[in-house]
């Protein structure tokens, strides 16, 4: 029997089959984390996952992407990766000295039920996180959502870091959604012209669209600072662009 499809059905099938712009959650979490000044993204999972995000972002932005991993092996997959993450945090702060480490999970660590907030608490109690340094966490299982969900979840984690003092800072929080570094630069230019003081997070401008200086800097000059993120609780309002930012803005 000859099956015939209407032009509408054919176009719907093509739209489904051709190169869907959807990839795994941690890529979005890593992109968002790179928008914090002095942040080292950390992938709590196997090395292969981390290598995939790093190479994908490096190819796209033509910038060297630094990131660390909990390097799960068979042992961590069975008995849990807490020891790996504790060791990783110790090594990262000792060797690379970032301001903040933004940890996201992967399919594997989510499947075995890793509890990042609990591990962070333990790391704080055991002194693995030095005074004045921060660890953000985001749950990003890749069998749900997409890179955009991962981005949004990491942005929510940034919003959760706010420490309100009760004294307003006269600024507006600006959550740009997943846009390119050049778009973030343009948003800052427009708000500057309007005379509105903003704290934009994340801010990958100056991080992933930097000039060719010939010099490698592990932590480029751009990005929202941790001090700014802490003060977002004192802002006079929040403007979130794009529906996927609503979770962060709702905080
Ligand atoms: S295993 Fe999951 S988290 Fe890792 S690269 Fe694949 S989809 Fe992404």
Q: Would you say the CB of residue 27 lies under 6 angstroms from ligand 1?
A: no
Both tokens assigned to 40? 């080292």
Distance CA 223, CA 44 (A): 23
The pLDDT assigned to 121 comes to 97
CATH 3.40.50.1980, the chain: domain bounds: 25-160, 172-250
Residue 102 CA, ligand 1 centroid: distance in Å: 17
The pLDDT assigned to 208 comes to 95
Atom of ligand 1 nearest to the CA of 141: 3
Q: Whose CA is nearest to atom 1 of ligand 1?
A: 107
CB atoms < 10 A from the CB of 238, how many? 17
Distance CA 251, CA 177 (A): 15
Distance CA 94, CA 110 (A): 27
Distance CA 108, CA 116 (A): 13
Residue pLDDT tens, the chain, 251 long? 445 667 676 666 555 556 666 789 999 999 999 999 999 999 999 999 999 999 999 999 999 999 999 999 999 999 999 999 999 999 999 999 999 999 999 999 999 999 999 999 999 999 999 999 999 999 999 999 899 999 999 999 999 999 999 999 999 999 999 999 999 999 999 999 999 999 999 999 999 998 888 888 899 999 999 999 999 999 999 999 987 665 555 55
Both tokens assigned to 245? 């930012």
Q: Whose CA is nearest to atom 4 of ligand 1?
A: 49
> Alpha-carbon Rg of the chain, whole angstroms?
20
As a CATH number, domain 25-160 is 3.40.50.1980
The pLDDT assigned to 2 comes to 47
Of 107, 108, 146, the one to substitute when testing ligand 1's pocket (max ligand atoms within 8 A of C-beta) is 107
Q: Would you say the CB of residue 70 lies under 6 angstroms from ligand 1?
A: no
Asked: is 172-250 a CATH 3.40.50.460 domain? The reply is no
The pLDDT assigned to 249 comes to 53
Q: Print burial letters for 10-39: b (CB count within 10 Å at least 16), e (below 16).
A: eeeeeeeeeeeeebbbbbbbbbbbbbbbbb
State which H helix or E strand residue 173 sits in: strand 172-175
Instruction: For residue 196, give the 3-state DSSP assignment.
Output: coil
pTM: 0.90
Q: Would you say the CB of residue 96 lies under 6 angstroms from ligand 1?
A: no
């Amino acid at each position: 029997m000859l099956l015939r499809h209407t032009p509408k059905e054919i176009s719907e099938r093509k739209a489904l089959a051709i190169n869907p712009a959807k990839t795994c959650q941690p890529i979005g979490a890593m992109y968002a984390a790179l928008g914090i000044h002095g942040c080292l993204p950390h992938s709590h999972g196997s090395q292969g996952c981390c290598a995939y995000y790093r190479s994908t972002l490096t190819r796209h932005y033509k910038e060297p992407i630094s990131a660390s991993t909990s390097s799960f092996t068979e042992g961590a997959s069975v008995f849990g990766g807490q020891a790996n993450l504790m060791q990783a945090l110790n090594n990262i702060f000792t060797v690379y000295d970032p301001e903040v480490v933004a940890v996201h999970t992967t399919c594997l660590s989510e499947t075995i039920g890793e509890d990042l907030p609990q591990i962070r608490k333990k790391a704080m109690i055991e002194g693995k996180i030095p005074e004045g340094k921060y660890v953000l966490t985001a749950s990003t299982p890749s069998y749900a959502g997409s890179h955009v969900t991962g981005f949004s979840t990491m942005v929510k984690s940034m919003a959760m870091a706010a420490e309100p003092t009760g004294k307003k800072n006269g600024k507006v929080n600006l959550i740009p959604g997943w846009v390119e570094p050049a778009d973030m630069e343009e948003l800052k230019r427009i708000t500057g012209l309007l005379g509105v003081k903003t704290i934009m997070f994340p801010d990958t401008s100056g991080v992933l669209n930097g000039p060719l200086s010939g010099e490698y800097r592990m932590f480029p000059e751009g990005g929202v600072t941790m001090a700014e993120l802490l003060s977002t609780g004192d802002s006079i309002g929040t403007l979130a662009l794009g529906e996927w930012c609503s979770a962060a803005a709702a905080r």
